[in-house]
Amino acid sequence: MVGLKALKNFIGALQSNASPYEIGWGIALGALLGLNPLGTPQAILIFLVLMATKSNLGAAALSTPLFAALALLLDPLAHRIGLALLTQLPSLTPVWTSAYNAPVLPFTRFYNTVVLGNFVLGLILLVPLILLSRQGVLYYRAHFQEKVSQWKIIKILNLTKLAGMLDQVK
């Protein structure tokens, strides 16, 4: 149900006049949120940024679970990245040690190879995702928006009160 709602919101955003950058930011921040464990300070921070900025929530709602699922596949890669950063770069050891002894930072679980690896992956993917998403939205609107708007399902969605309210929020 939640997944359907997220899909509906995302399609609604694509079909509307929402800014491609906002959709791109939504997807990128959603990805970053999905790659980080829930309940950690960084996840809370990303969520607050997502909510406070005009990032597209529909896009974020779709990308978050998508990247959370993708994180399971990326865990080996994330582990390698995290392990390399935490143990194989001596120059970074003082940084990690300081962070480990700092007040709040240990709650981020940065000392876990997969958590750090996924966070770094999320940061690396942030800008490319924004740019790619923007391009994707523009391409979609140029080539598919008309066709998709003819679909019965989209017409039904557009008629619903909820869709209208969502549009207002966005």
How far apart are alpha carbons 29 and 151 in whole angstroms?
29
Which residue lies nearer to another protein by CB, 106 or 128? 106
Rounded to a whole number of angstroms, the minimum distance from the CB of residue 16 to another protein is 16
Q: Is 39 in the site for another protein (CB under 8 A)?
A: no
x-marked contacts with another protein along 82-101 as a string, rule CB under 8 A: xx--xx-----x--xx--xx
Q: Is 2 in the site for another protein (CB under 8 A)?
A: no
Q: For 6, phi and psi rounded to 5 degrees?
A: -65, -40
Which residue lies nearer to another protein by CB, 5 or 79? 79
How far apart are alpha carbons 81 and 90 in whole angstroms?
15
Contacts 24+ apart (CB under 8 A), 42-48: 42/108, 42/119
How far apart are alpha carbons 47 and 44 in whole angstroms?
5
Binding site for another protein (CB under 8 A): 51-54, 75, 78-79, 82-83, 86-87, 93, 96-97, 100-101, 103-104, 106, 111-115, 117, 169
